[in-house]
Amino acid sequence: MKKREPNRERLSSQRRASFDDLTHMAESELAAFTGAVYELFGHEEARVSADEWIEELLSADRPIGAGIADWRHITIMASIRLASRVCRNAESTSPMKARRHGRTPHKFPNHEATVHK
């Protein structure tokens, strides 16, 4: 009995569909992540976070599959970097530090951000 070879055209089509699905999932996850960062922290943090998300994707030490857990792992890693950066920024603008340097912290109404004069 002769062994059947897979139809090359069909395999190519399946790979293209798989790639398209993965691309769509990555775009959706990145858009959701950067949208949330933009809403919470503004344009600059969203831009930096998007770059970091892509860096995390490119440096992934395991293959990315079609599962949502794979994309969430990338988002979690980028979120850790965001949290670290936001905490560092918060520490550098903390009210205690401002008082030590002779500045008075002021808060915007309905906002947690602290601004120093």
Whether 2 maps to a domain, the answer reads no
Whether 4 maps to a domain, the answer reads no
Give tens-digit pLDDT for 59-106: 987 777 767 778 899 999 999 999 999 998 888 776 655 455 454 444
Collapsing DSSP states into helix, strand and coil, what is residue 67? coil
Whether 3 maps to a domain, the answer reads no
How far is Cα 34 from Cα 41, in angstroms, rounded to an integer?
10
Whether 1 maps to a domain, the answer reads no
Q: Who has greater pLDDT, 111 or 80?
A: 80
Range of the domain at 112: 10-116
How far is Cα 26 from Cα 5, in angstroms, rounded to an integer?
32
pLDDT of residue 45: 96
**Closest by Cα among 35, 32, 48, 36 to 88:** 48
Whether 5 maps to a domain, the answer reads no
- Give the CA distances from residue 110 to residues 5, 45, 90, 95, 113, in Å, rounded to whole numbers and listed in that order: 66, 20, 17, 17, 9
Whether 71 maps to a domain, the answer reads yes
Give tens-digit pLDDT for 62-74: 777 767 778 899 9
pLDDT of residue 15: 67
| Domains in the chain, number | 1
Rounded to the nearest angstrom, the gap between the alpha carbon of residue 16 and the centroid of all alpha carbons in its chain is: 25
What is the residue type of 57? L
pLDDT of residue 61: 78
